[in-house]
Amino acid sequence: MTRDSPYHILVDVPTQTMTVTDPAGVEVARYRVATARNGVGELAGSEQTPRGRHYIRAKIGAGLPEGAVLVSRRPTGEQYTPALRQMHPKRDWILTRILWLCGLEPGRNRLGQVDTLQRYIYIHGCPDEDPMGIPGSRGCIKMCNRDIVELFDRVPAGTPVTIRA
């Protein structure tokens, strides 16, 4: 379940934006994001962004420098560069911070073949040259590194996240 959080995150897939609001519904931050290039959907293996109500289950990467590379939720010790990307062209670049999402709606985005947590769906940083505002991820919600650091520092674990298509 979600903990009490002073914030709510809304990811709007059609506009590729994320809005953070306070308890009164006042917008405190807005970011351009990139959701899945395969569109929306909940099925495991679809590489689609899951819809519905979620919460931040875990925050990973506190204190890492911008551009730190994470694989399987652990820092590799690498610092992202375009040259590193050329050396690993098939890598799904997860950088800087991870906010790991968990679904709240059994049968829609929780449990079985539609479980957001088990699908490893994150809000995470990405290479600065990756475009924001257009779909381009493998299911996650990608953000610029400076934006994910700001969001990570602002919201606690347990913060509700709604993904609207």
pLDDT tens-digit readout, 93-135: 999 999 999 999 999 999 999 999 999 999 999 999 999 999 9
Rounded Cα distance between 47 and 24, Å, is: 34
Is the pLDDT at 23 greater than 60? The verdict is: yes
Per the model's pLDDT, the better-predicted residue between 2 and 147 turns out to be: 147
User: Which residues, at least 6 apart from 132, have a Cβ–Cβ distance to it below 8 Å?
Assistant: 16, 31, 32, 33, 34, 142, 143, 144
Question: Is the CB of residue 64 less than 8 Å from the CB of residue 76?
Answer: no
Output the pTM of the full model: 0.96
| Residue 8's pLDDT band (cuts 50, 70, 90) | very high
The HSE-up count of residue 13 (CA atoms within 13 Å, CB side) is 22
Q: Token pair of 159, please?
A: 């913060």
Residue type, 10: L
- pLDDT classification of 2: cutoffs 50, 70, 90: low
Q: Say if residues 132 and 33 touch (Cβ distance below 8 Å).
A: yes
3-state secondary structure 52-108: EEEEEEEEECCCCCCCEEEECCEEEEEECCHHHHHHCCCCCCEEEEEEEEEECCECC
Q: Are the C-beta atoms of residues 142 and 124 closer than 8 Å to each other? A: yes
- Cα 105 to its chain centre, rounded Å, is 18
